[in-house]
Amino acid sequence: MKQAETGKVYMVGAGPGDPDLLTVRAAALIRSADFLFHDDLVAPEILQLAHTDATVQNVGKRCGSKSITQEDINQLLIRNARLGHSVVRLKIGDPMLFGRAGEEMDALQTASIAFEVVPGITAGFAAASALQVSLTDRRLASKVIFLTGHRVGTDEPCWGTLPPDATLVIYMPGSDYARLAAQITESGFSPQTPCDIISNVATPQERRVCTRVDELAQIASLPAPCVILVGNALAAAQDTLP
């Protein structure tokens, strides 16, 4: 397996939590990198794969914490790569989905730093596997839409009208499920549409709640990280889950 190269930054997907779900490439890079800058939610078992001489630093900004800025993270990556170190930027799930990878890649390109992206299993796919449900079903769902429950600079997501034959995968849904339910119905989904809430997917702390959009407001919010699946393709799974 190829080891991490000096003077290079690797955007690595840590997957949803279970170390067994890391790609072989991701595991090799984590074990061989000189510096490991990770999201707050990366599982400790994955961080323990780093070699004993590596510098491992949490650069997460969970729940809006401003303890480290995005510009600070960009400069950490650039500075250590320029010093000739191998650098892994370890992101929960897949680095290219709601992980600010675009901003970091822009900074690396501007600084003429070589980088590589290593994909990971995103939480939406892990949640579908845990529920034993297909996100697409030619009888019920012809498309999948990945959404986030918030955007920078606004308290409300801007989804617009969404096709009701889609399965929605909602990341970072927040704790206001009543507001989220209203947004889903305003986007064109029936209040009776099945939905599943999955917290800490692919970890020993995993919790699931199967419900409907019109019942979301009565559900106590689950701890982050959390993903919510919405769509008619979920109905069969809800009928078979214990």
pLDDT of res. 194: 96
Per the model's pLDDT, the better-predicted residue between 154 and 167 turns out to be 167
Please work out, in degrees rounded to the nearest 5, the angle formed at the alpha carbon of residue 34 by the alpha carbons of 75 and 12: 70
Q: Quote the mean pLDDT of the chain.
A: 92
- Res 30 pLDDT > 80: yes
Taking residues 89-111, report their average pLDDT.
96
pLDDT of res. 99: 86
Q: Is 8 considered catalytic here?
A: no
pLDDT of res. 152: 47
Nearest to 8 by CA among 93, 100, 87, 75: 87
Q: Is 61 considered catalytic here?
A: yes
Selecting among 61, 137, 165, 214, the annotated active-site residue is: 61
Domains of the chain in start order, with CATH, are: 8-118 (3.40.1010.10), 123-240 (3.30.950.10)
- Res 237 pLDDT > 80: no
All residues at 6 or more sequence positions from 199 whose CB lies less than 8 Å from its CB, including other chains: 205, 206, 207, 208, 222, 223, 224, 225, 226
- Res 145 pLDDT > 50: yes
pTM for the model stands at: 0.89
Q: Is 106 considered catalytic here?
A: no
pLDDT of res. 70: 95
Selecting among 8, 11, 34, 39, the annotated active-site residue is: 39
- Res 66 pLDDT > 70: no
Each residue's pLDDT tens digit, 176-191: 999 999 999 999 999 9
d(CA 119, CA 232) in angstroms, rounded, equals 28
pLDDT of res. 186: 94
